[in-house]
Structure 1
Amino acid sequence: MRTWSRRGAGADLRICSNLESYECQLIASMVHSTSEILSERDGSAPQDSLADLTGIRTGHTTAPRDATLGRLLPDFHRPDQEESMAAAPVAADLNGALRGLNEPLIIDAKLAAARVVLDTLPPDGGDVALTADEADEWLTALNDVRLALGAMLGLADEPERPGPDHPHAGHYDVYQWLTVVQELLVEALMGPC
């Protein structure tokens, strides 16, 4: 992959790069996988008769048990915040209510970002020219893929490179590569200082 660059200005601004075929296939595969687990979560949400009457979709009220989904759809309230809250059970109920109302919208936004990547990604490699809005969606989707990979690899805040014989060594390399792609995209989107 070449670095991202800015071309044009105003409404004609494009964030451009050139991707090899294998890079496009890798990104597409990872974005598809992330989209599938988000779609499964969305499709497994309990049906709510009040939602049928009001048209307001509701989602799960409990956090995902899967570590990858937990990383993509974290709680609104974390246990380490309980000390500052007077009634922890109320906080848990509030977290469930917030999740139920917001999770469908969050999933929709993540799936929309994934669709933008898949729609703008040349399947056989080649030039990519994104509007600023499309570049923002790429950042969202790449971040989701990195979060999913990080959860799968059990990476903490300061990930350590596994040894070359480790079964996830290749996945770690993909994680690092996506980090660079994302960082270069941010720099191009921000423009010259």
Structure 2
Amino acid sequence: MIGLDLSGADLSGCVFQESWFTDAKLVGARLIGVDLYRSDAEGADFSGADLTWASLVRVNLDDAVFRGAVLDGADLGKASLYGVDSSAASLRGTRLMGASLIDVDFSGSDLSQAIVRENTFKVTVDETTEFKGMSGTLFGPVQMRGREDRQEISGADLERWLRERGGDVRVLESRG
């Protein structure tokens, strides 16, 4: 499905393990409960797509777009997300355990009840990003986008900042 335009398609419940969705357009697609285990979706556009309860375990999502997408309850265990636009996305209850999140934009996103475990979490957030009930462990730092500037938050400051927003996340010391 490399480069195919599947915008608006209903692929809910389908199993696409080890498939290629590189540069595919899935704008507004219904992908509820879809299984993409070990697939490659590099550069795919999932803007506005519904991936509720999707299995994205070990999926390459580098440079993908999830702007305004719904990933509630999805499993992104050990997925690779580098350079991803997830602004205004809903990730309520999403499992991000062991996922690598580098240069991911979560501005305006809802990460309520999300679960992290030893995640690389070098992401951008803003004052509207939700963290209520988020739990687990992660490595920072986080870039906080303000109206006029950016501020890097890491270590104990990041842990305290997340707690102030309703999260229960322990920030780990960076490796090596």
- Please identify the structure whose Cα radius of gyration is greater: 1
TM-score by length of 1: 0.22
Greater strand share, structure number: 2
Structure with higher RCO (Cα < 8 A, 6+ apart): 1
TM-score by length of 2: 0.23
